[in-house]
A and B are shown apart, each in its own frame.
Chain A
Amino acid sequence: MDTTLSEEEVMVRETARKFLEARCPTKLVRAMEKDEKGYPPDLWREAAELGWQGLALPEQYGGSGLPMTYLGLVMHEVGRALTPLPMLSTVTAALTIAAHGDTALCQEVLPKVVSGETILTWAFTEQDPRFLPETVRMRAVADGDHFVLTGTKLFVENFVAADQCLVVCRTSDTGLSVFLVDCRSAGISHRDLVTLAKDRQSEVTFNAVRVPRGRLVGGLNEGAAIAEGLIDRATVLLCAQMLGATRKDMEMAVEWSKFRKAFGQPIGAFQSLQHMCADMLMWVDGGDLLTYEALWKMDQGLPASVEVSQAKAFCNEKCQAVVRGCQVIHGGIGFIMEFDLQLWYRRVCAWTTRFGTAYEHRARIARALLDHPGTVILGQPVPVVAEA
């Protein structure tokens, strides 16, 4: 057991931080809020040169084969700088393809992800926002050597930037399947949502979209388990991203409290603000510890669903509380658009609403703790019980 970073891990983090400090100023973040695609292609290429997209992908497809914890460290920095890149959706979809796609599909898609040529996303949620298999109504019906997809997906990240989208569809009354769909296929239309983060999310409608059988990722009707793995990876990496942003926000607020004066002293000298800041530090630290443990378990091939839910349930509420505290410490100026703080606040707020609410994640933990015979031991794996 060692919760500190190794030299190599520190290097991964520092390299990413320095790169983004130089290449991702808030001016760029602001510009991309209004950009149609929401990301700058040259920065995406530079990220690929640093090996980010392929960091945790297998070496046989050009990736670096590094652990998820490393990817978590990079996503933490991506979040810290509010980097407007389609990283999260691309790496989660790519990891899912690497884990479940056949060799031909991996050969075709993954090297281009690694090189930065291909942007990916994924689509699970429909109208019912919960991450449960029964919420998927969109159908894929076999027709010769194709499947025909019909339905509407919501909250699809970076769809406007993506080339390919992993789509979770119903292929039988009880079975789901996952397809890799070309975003420009005939029959696809989309409407863009306006989110607190001002990033790119869309409602995507599939009207009898024909997808070749070879684009099936994993077995037919085996999609529920694949989707769960995908969502778990996305969720834990979102936690890392959210914690990076939240920690930076906290650092800015603490800095502010040192030089902003009221009643003849820095406001940071008032104990009520100090105690608030002490809580903030415990919360971001706690979130980090939960998140990296979950990532580490994934790397070990251990079940990590409960750990992912622990991290997300905690981050949803604590990151929200931290960024709210940062607004409070700043007083009126935090509300003003021209001042950068709001860029962090709005994104963290948006991220707390995605990939499962605190209620959902706590319910998942409670099922694992309570709906299983035997007693629990803190620090030992808890069995996960599927939704009844």
Chain B
Amino acid sequence: MDFGYTPEQQALRREVRAFIAEHVTEDVLAERGSSESNTGRGEGGAMKRLYEKVYERGWLGITYPKEYGGQGGDRMTQYIVEEEFTRVDIPVGMGGSGAPAIMAAGTEEQKQYYIPGLIKREISFALGFTEPHAGADLASLQCRAVRDGDEYVINGQKMYTSSAHMATHIYLMARTNPNLPKHRGISIFLFPMDTPGITVRPLWTMQNDPTAPIGTTYGHQRTNETFFEDVRIPAASLLGKENGGWRVGAMGLNLDRVGASRYLISVRRDEDIVNFVKLNSFDGYAPAKDPAIRDKIAELWIEAQVCRLMTMRSMSIVEHGGNFTYEGSAEKTWAPEHGVRTTEAIAQMLGPYGQLLNGSPHAVESGIFAHNLQGAFQSGINHGSTQVMRDQICRRGLDMPRK
């Protein structure tokens, strides 16, 4: 056991902080605030230049092999870099990018094409999993892909394809064989968003008006419905084997679950509220002096430590080449629920200030705590809901019976 950081890791952290202090300048922050995503293809070019510098430092795609544009580094290095950039709300990780599944199941050609682009943030995927009637029960999806010579023809609808209006490509789960049991007739396809036959329609969210400030938990202003009408793609768009998509997808999701992103959402919120309460008072009333608020903050802090340590545990297991049984599910249950508890407690600590949204006079920190209230619960629904995660903890972690 070792709960510490090596001298090299500590030096890296200092180096990343110094880099951020120097390069995350006002124009970067301004552009970050105005662009809806951090794709690196932002309007002003400041974000793009920043990503180029981050890449030159070797801080993008740290855990990916050098031959695919990565650094061949370890997860802890990746984690440290990601944690520091999270504090300025600039994503530098590969969580949710589709890259883990491509590395695991892609052909040499696919790896050569996609991984360097994903690392440099020149390529980004919209994730096409969910459908109107397939959410938590993803395997019941119905979007069809039919082989036709050297092509597949796609027809169907996807829901909540969050970045479909900005992404260069889509990572699509579709049914290739409706006659097989539901988990076995599914395949994954990778293809450009500008392929003819794709229509993207916006679904505006609670965070749209007023716009959630950057750093909000589920601050998405927009997600989408995406329709596929006789979309023809080359057969080489298939990722992994035909009808083998469930395994590839599940693997990708599992790998996505590991690591920093869940916990890092909490880091921001827990640090923000402690620092806010510590430094602010309202006409002489200092919430930091209220014994009940002090007690609550300490309680949430302990929970945040459990979040952090569960994340460290997952990374340690992967670092040893091991497999999760229930640990990823535990992390994916604890972190979102802790996030909700924190967010709701903050609203009570701030009283009527806690309800003021971005742009309101007297809004606290651009209203981020109120906007978090509109989004925090969402992280317990997506990518495996906490209900389903708890079922998995029981089955895989405790060997409990299904029926």
Q: Which of B223, B378, B391 has the most CB of A within 10 A?
A: B378
Residues 349-364 of chain A: 1 if any B CB is under 8 Å from the residue's CB, otherwise 0? 1101110111110110
Residue in chain A with minimal CB distance to B138: A262
Instruction: Give the residues in chain A near B385, CB-CB below 8 Å.
Output: 328, 331
A194–B356 contact, CB under 8 A? yes
Taking A194-B357, A338-B203 as given, write out 13 further A-B residue pairs in contact, using a Cβ cutoff of 8 Å, ordered by the A residue number.
A128-B283, A130-B285, A193-B356, A261-B133, A262-B135, A327-B378, A332-B382, A335-B218, A353-B348, A353-B350, A353-B353, A359-B292, A362-B292
Which A residues have a C-beta under 8 Å from some C-beta of B? 125-130, 135, 137, 154-155, 191-197, 203, 261-264, 267, 270, 272-273, 316-317, 320-321, 324, 327-328, 331-332, 335-338, 342, 345-346, 349-350, 352-354, 356-360, 362-363
Chain A residues, CB < 8 A from B356: 193-196
| Residues of chain B from 362 to 376 with CB closer than 8 A to chain A in the complex | 362-363, 367, 370, 373-375
Looking at the complex, which one of A192, A273, A336 makes contact with B203 (CB distance below 8 Å)?
A: A336
Q: Using known A-B contacts A328-B377, A346-B374, A359-B290, determine if residue A353 contacts B363 with beta carbons closer than 8 Å.
A: no
CA distance A229 to B137 in the complex (A): 52
List 3 tightest A-B contacts by C-beta distance, closest first.
A194-B360, A127-B283, A262-B137
Q: How far is the CA of A242 from the CA of B184 in the complex (A)?
A: 47
Tell which of B352, B387, B390, B391 touches A155, judged by Cβ atoms closer than 8 Å.
Answer: B352
Evaluate contact between B284 and A128: CB separation under 8 angstroms. Answer: yes
A135, B135: Cβ atoms under 8 Å? no
Between-chain CB contacts (< 8 Å), 18 pairs: A128-B285, A154-B352, A193-B356, A193-B360, A194-B367, A261-B133, A263-B136, A264-B137, A272-B387, A272-B391, A317-B344, A324-B340, A324-B344, A332-B381, A336-B223, A342-B374, A352-B348, A353-B354
Q: Report if A196-B370 is in contact (Cβ < 8 Å); known contacts: A126-B283, A263-B137, A352-B348.
A: yes
Binary interface profile of B, 330-348, with partner A (CB < 8 Å = 1, else 0)? 0000000000100010011
Are the CB atoms of B285 and A135 closer together than 8 Å?
yes
B117 interface residue, CB < 8 Å from A?
no
Identity of the chain B residue whose Cβ is nearest the Cβ of A126 in the assembled complex: B283
In the assembled complex, B361 has its CB within 8 A of some CB on chain A? yes
The stretch of B22-30, B46-54, B186-194, B204-212 that contacts the partner chain: B204-212
Contact of B72 with A by CB under 8 A: no
Residue positions of B touching A, CB distance < 8 A = 130, 133, 135-137, 140, 159-160, 203-206, 208-210, 218, 223, 282-285, 290, 292-293, 296, 340, 344, 347-363, 367, 370, 373-375, 377-378, 380-382, 385-387, 390-391
| A residues less than 8 Å from B208 (CB atoms) | 337
Structural contact, B218 and A359, CB atoms closer than 8 A = no
Q: In the complex the two chains form, what is the Cα distance from A125 to B355 in whole Å?
A: 15
Contact A342 B354 (CB under 8 A): no
Q: Is the CB of A129 within 8 A of B137?
A: no
What's the minimum C-beta distance from A170 to chain B, rounded to whole angstroms? 13
Q: Is the CB of A359 within 8 A of B349?
A: yes
Question: Which residues of chain A come closer than 8 Å to B354, judged between CB atoms?
Answer: 353
Instruction: Output the nearest chain A residue to B357 by Cβ-Cβ distance.
Output: A194
Report whether B160 and A332 are in contact in the complex, using a CB–CB cutoff of 8 Å.
yes
Cα separation A106 to B293 with both chains bound (whole Å): 42
Closest to B359 in A: A194
A317 CA to B374 CA in the complex, in Å? 16
Tally inter-chain residue pairs, CB-CB below 8 A.
151
The answer to whether B133 touches A338 (Cβ under 8 A) is: no
B349 touches A357 (CB 8 A): yes
- Docked-complex contact B135 and A196, CB < 8 angstroms: no
Q: When chains A and B are docked, how far (Å) is the Cα of A285 from the Cα of B350? A: 27
Docked pose: A358 CA to B386 CA in angstroms: 27
Please tell me if the beta carbons of A317 and B348 are within 8 angstroms of each other in the complex.
yes
Residues of A contacting B370 in the complex (Cβ-Cβ under 8 angstroms): 196, 349
CB distance from B212 to the nearest CB of A (A): 12
CA distance A272 to B380 in the complex (A): 14
- Rounded to whole angstroms, the CA-CA distance of A356 and B348 in the bound complex is 9
Contacts of A135 in B (CB 8 A): 283, 285
Contact A195 B348 (CB under 8 A): no
For residue B362, which residues in chain A have a CB less than 8 angstroms away from its CB?
154, 193, 203
A33 to chain B, nearest CB (A): 9
Kindly name the residue among B208, B293, B373, B375 whose own CB sees the greatest number of chain A CB atoms within 10 A. B373
A128 contacts across to B, CB distance below 8 A: 282-285
Shortest distance from the beta carbon of A345 to any chain B beta carbon, whole Å: 8
**How far is it, in angstroms, between the C-alpha of A324 and the C-alpha of B203 when the chains are bound?**
21
Chain B residue nearest to A137 (CB atoms) is B283
Q: How far is the CA of A346 from the CA of B361 in the complex (A)?
A: 19
- Which residues of the partner chain A approach B160 to less than 8 Å between Cβ atoms? 332
The smallest beta-carbon distance between A82 and chain B, in angstroms, is 15
Tell me, in angstroms, the Cα distance from A125 to B381 when the chains sit together: 37
Name the contact of A352 in the complex, choosing from B140, B206, B209, B347 (C-beta under 8 A): B347
Other-chain contact of B159, A332, A353, A356 (Cβ < 8 Å)? A332
Closest-CB distance, A355 to chain B (whole angstroms) = 8
Instruction: Give the docked Cα–Cα distance between A328 and B284 (Å).
Output: 39
Q: How far is the CA of A263 from the CA of B150 in the complex (A)?
A: 34
The CA-CA distance from A195 to B206 in the complex, in Å, is 13
Which residue of the partner chain B has the closest CB to A262?
B137
Q: For A358, what are the chain B residues with a Cβ–Cβ distance below 8 Å? A: 348
B136 contacts across to A, CB distance below 8 A: 262-263, 267, 331
